[in-house]
Each structure stands twice: as structure tokens, then as C-alpha cells.
């Protein structure tokens, strides 16, 4: 399996374990954190494990989910 396929499989697994209300975004930036610095480190950890192609794939999937909810 290539790195791209592994990352996409990781995204699909992460998406399936989350509750339906957080399916809007793979990188949940809406969570409340005590410190802004803590929030940025959580996002950085999630992004650092993904390649650029898969970050764009995750954003694309997130927008598709948002469009389905709005319609």
C-alpha cells in the first residue's frame, strides 16, 4: 500500500469512529480548548501525519458533507 492509500484509509477510519455531528471536518477546529496554543498543537499533530494530497482530499470530503447538510 502506498502512503497516499494508507492516509486515505486512516481518514476513512477516523471519520467512521466520530459522531455524525463532527463529520463536517476531519480536523476538528471547533473544539473548545483552554489555551489557544493547545488547540494549534492538536491540529498540527493531525496535519503532520498526512500528505498534501490527503489534506486536500479531507477538505474536499468535508465540503461535500457540508453541502449535503445544507441541502
Quick: pLDDT tens for 53-64: 777 888 888 888
User: Is residue 2 pLDDT above 70, yes or no?
Assistant: yes
30 or 46, which is more confident? 46
Contact 43, 27 (CB under 8 A): yes
* Confidence (pLDDT) at 7: 81
Domain boundaries defined on the chain: 3-70
* Confidence (pLDDT) at 45: 63
As a whole number of Å, the CA-based R_g of the chain is 13
* Confidence (pLDDT) at 17: 60
Task: Write down the pTM of the prediction.
Answer: 0.31
* Confidence (pLDDT) at 37: 55
Place of cell 480536523: 27
Amino acid at each position: 500500500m502506498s502512503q497516499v492509500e494508507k492516509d486515505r484509509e486512516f481518514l476513512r477510519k477516523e471519520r467512521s469512529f466520530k459522531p455524525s455531528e463532527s463529520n463536517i471536518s476531519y480536523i476538528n477546529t471547533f473544539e473548545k480548548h483552554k489555551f489557544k496554543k493547545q488547540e494549534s498543537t492538536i491540529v498540527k499533530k493531525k496535519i503532520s501525519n498526512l500528505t498534501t494530497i490527503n489534506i486536500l482530499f479531507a477538505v474536499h470530503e468535508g465540503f461535500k458533507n457540508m453541502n449535503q447538510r445544507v441541502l
